Amino acid sequence: MAAPFLTPTLTAHGRRLVAAVGEGSILVTGEPGVGKSCLVDHWLGAVERASWLALSLPDLGQRPPLRQVADHLGVGEAADLAAAAATLAGRPLLVRVDPAERLVESAWHHLVALREALPAVHYLWVGRLEVKGQMEASWLRPLVDDIVCRVHLLAFDPEESRAYCAQYLATCHPGATLTEAAHATLYGRALGYVPLADQVLDEAVAEGRRRGATTVEEADVAIAIDTLRGTYRWRPSRRRWPWFMAAAAAAAGGIALLAGR
What CATH number should be reported for the domain whose range is 158-259?
Answer: 1.10.8
3-state secondary structure (DSSP) of residue 3? coil
Measured CA to CA, the distance from residue 17 to residue 58 in angstroms comes to 26
pLDDT above 50 (res 157): yes
* CB count in 10 Å sphere of residue 215: 13
The residue with greater pLDDT, 72 or 157, is: 157
**H or E stretch at 125:** strand 121-127
3-state secondary structure (DSSP) of residue 6? coil
Closest C-alpha to 118, from 148, 145, 90, 140: 90
Give how far Cα 67 sits from Cα of 10, 54, 56, 92, 260, Å.
Answer: 34, 13, 11, 17, 61
Measured CA to CA, the distance from residue 216 to residue 218 in angstroms comes to 7
Angle 194-210/158-172 helices, nearest 10 degrees?
A: 50
Mean pLDDT, the chain, whole residue set: 86
Measured CA to CA, the distance from residue 195 to residue 81 in angstroms comes to 42
pLDDT per residue as tens digits for the range 194-232: 999 999 999 999 999 999 999 999 999 999 999 888 664
Residue 61 banded pLDDT, cuts 50, 70, 90: confident
Question: What class, spelled out in words, does domain 8-153 have in CATH?
Answer: alpha beta
Total-model pTM: 0.83
pLDDT at 73: 81
Measured CA to CA, the distance from residue 236 to residue 155 in angstroms comes to 15
pLDDT at 139: 96
Give how far Cα 21 sits from Cα of 75, 116, 118, 163, 250, Å.
Answer: 23, 19, 16, 30, 38
pLDDT per residue as tens digits for the range 69-103: 888 887 765 556 667 777 777 789 999 999 999 99
DSSP per position, 45-71: TTS-GGGEEE--GGGTTTS-HHHHHHH
Measured CA to CA, the distance from residue 153 to residue 257 in angstroms comes to 26
Sign for the pseudo-dihedral over CA of 99, 251, 205, 230:
positive
Same fold for the pair 8-153 and 158-259: no
- Residue spans per domain, the chain: 8-153, 158-259
Cβ atoms of 194 and 35 closer than 8 Å: yes
Q: Which residues pair with 123 in a beta bridge?
A: 95
3-state secondary structure (DSSP) of residue 128? coil
Residue 241 banded pLDDT, cuts 50, 70, 90: very low
pLDDT at 231: 63
SS (H, E, C) 86-112: HHHCCCCEEEEECCHHHCCHHHHHHHH
